[in-house]
């Protein structure tokens, strides 16, 4: 990852929080929003990995800070998870993401969300989440499935089968109730 790609990711995450990319806004929101703080350190660890012998000590410190924030805020999104630009953690606590999961651009993750793997069944593997996806509080997305673009996953919904673009999914197991999508839930698209 280049420095330009790194700063672009950090700015797009910030934009999701406040519709602004200014340095003053970054510092203000970094202090006041635990989700942004975690994302910043996560992106920094990914950037610092493999930067040579001079970057290695900073990388180790950043990994320790990321682990600390993970425990403090209840967020477990490994730094090597493929995440797109503009990730937004609305409320922290109980967020668990498998390291092989893929999360697209401009996604919202709320508290108690799990994105996990299965090793058997009809859809073994890890999820691929599309762009502009809203994952409501307590939702679970499990298995080698694809969640399309502009999807809204309702609170406490369990998604274990592929979901097409623009779907609204609710219930246990998750069922599509409309094709209105997540336009009302995903704002400040970076």
Provide the domain count of the chain.
2
As a whole-number percent, the residues of the chain with pLDDT over 90 amount to 78
Q: What is the domain extent for residue 7?
A: 3-76
Band the pLDDT of 52: cuts 50, 70, 90: confident
Whether residues 105 and 172 fall in one domain: yes
In a domain, 188, yes or no: no
What's the pLDDT score for residue 21?
83
Residue 86 has pLDDT above 80, yes or no: yes
Q: Are residues 50 and 110 in the same domain?
A: no
Last residue of a domain, one of 76, 101, 128: 76
Is 112 found in the same domain as 164? yes
If asked whether residues 57 and 144 sit together in one domain, one would say: no
Categorize the per-residue pLDDT at 190 as very low, low, confident or very high, splitting at 50, 70 and 90.
Answer: low
In a domain, 158, yes or no: yes
Please indicate, yes or no, whether residues 35 and 11 belong to a single structural domain of this protein: yes
Contact assessment for residue 74 and residue 93, using Cβ atoms and an 8 Å cutoff: yes
Q: pTM for this structure? A: 0.91
Mean pLDDT across the chain? 93
Mean pLDDT of 68-77: 96
User: Are both 59 and 101 inside the same structural domain?
Assistant: no
Note whether 58 and 10 are same-domain residues: yes
The domain boundary, picked from 76, 94, 116, lies at: 76
Quickly state the pLDDT bin for 54 (edges 50, 70, 90): confident
pLDDT in tens, 155-188: 999 999 999 999 999 999 999 999 988 888 888 7
Please tell me whether residues 97 and 169 are part of one structural domain: yes
pLDDT digits (tens, 9 = 90+) for 91-117: 889 999 999 999 999 999 999 999 999
Give every CB contact of residue 34 below 8 A, 6+ residues apart in sequence: 69, 72, 73, 75, 89, 92
Distances (CA, A) of 93 to 52, 66, 133, 188: 34, 15, 19, 23
Residue 115 sits in a domain whose CATH number is: 2.160.10.10
Confidence of residue 131 (pLDDT cuts 50, 70, 90): very high
Last residue of a domain, one of 76, 95, 111: 76
Strand partners, 89: 109
Mean pLDDT (whole number) for 21-28: 86
| Residues 91 and 71 both lie in one domain | no
């Amino acid at each position: 990852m280049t420095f330009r790609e790194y700063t672009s990711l950090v700015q797009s995450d910030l934009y999701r929080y406040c519709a602004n990319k200014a340095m003053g806004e970054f510092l203000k929101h970094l202090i006041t929003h635990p989700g942004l703080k975690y994302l910043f350190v996560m992106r920094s660890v990914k950037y610092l990995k493999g930067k040579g012998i001079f970057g290695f000590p900073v990388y180790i410190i950043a990994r320790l800070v990321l682990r600390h924030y993970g425990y403090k805020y209840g967020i477990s999104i490994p730094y090597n998870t493929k995440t797109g630009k503009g990730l937004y953690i609305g409320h922290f606590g109980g967020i668990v993401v498998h390291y092989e999961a893929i999360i697209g651009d401009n996604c919202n993750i709320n508290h108690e969300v799990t994105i996990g793997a299965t090793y058997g069944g009809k859809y073994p593997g890890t999820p691929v989440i599309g762009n502009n996806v809203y994952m409501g509080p307590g939702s679970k997305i499990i298995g080698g499935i694809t969640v399309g673009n502009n999807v809204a996953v309702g609170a406490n919904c369990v998604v274990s089968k592929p979901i097409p673009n623009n779907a609204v999914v609710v219930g246990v197991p998750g069922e599509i109730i409309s094709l209105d999508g997540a336009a009302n839930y995903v704002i400040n698209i970076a």
